[in-house]
């Protein structure tokens, strides 16, 4: 099953990714072979996950969330979905 996921890194930053195999991908991030970004910021912790029927949908969601600012990502992680529209950044701020 495809997933979009968010990791919180040791420096407090977030990493957004997508995968078909969440357990394997989390293991790779933990071992330092998942991505250059997380390799330098271990340990990482899974803070949000969404399941999709198709990998293309998970990848599209990954790209969408990667374009969000920190406050909007935190609202998603905390489940404050009603706050998401007000946290959208103007196109010039992306």
Q: What stretches in the chain show pLDDT beneath 70? A: 89-94
Question: CA–CA separation, 52 vs 82, rounded Å?
Answer: 21
Domain positions in the chain are 3-67
Residues 6+ apart with CB under 8 A from 34: 17, 25, 26, 28
Q: Are 16 and 62 in contact (CB under 8 A)?
A: yes
Is 3-67 CATH 3.40.1440.10? yes
- Rama region for 48: left / alpha / beta (φ>0; ψ in -120 to 50; rest): beta
**Segment holding 29, helix H or strand E:** helix 22-31
Please report the pLDDT score of residue 82 as a whole number.
94
Q: Determine the pLDDT at residue 94.
A: 46
Global pTM reads 0.91
């Amino acid at each position: 099953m495809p997933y979009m996921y968010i990791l919180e890194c040791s420096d407090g930053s977030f990493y957004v990714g997508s995968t078909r195999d969440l357990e394997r991908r989390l293991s790779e991030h933990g071992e330092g072979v998942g991505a250059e970004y997380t390799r330098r910021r271990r340990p990482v912790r899974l803070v949000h996950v969404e399941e999709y029927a198709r990998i293309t949908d998970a990848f599209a969601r990954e790209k969408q969330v990667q374009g969000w600012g920190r406050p909007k990502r935190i609202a998603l992680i905390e489940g404050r979905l009603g706050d998401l529209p007000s946290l959208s950044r103007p196109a010039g701020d992306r």
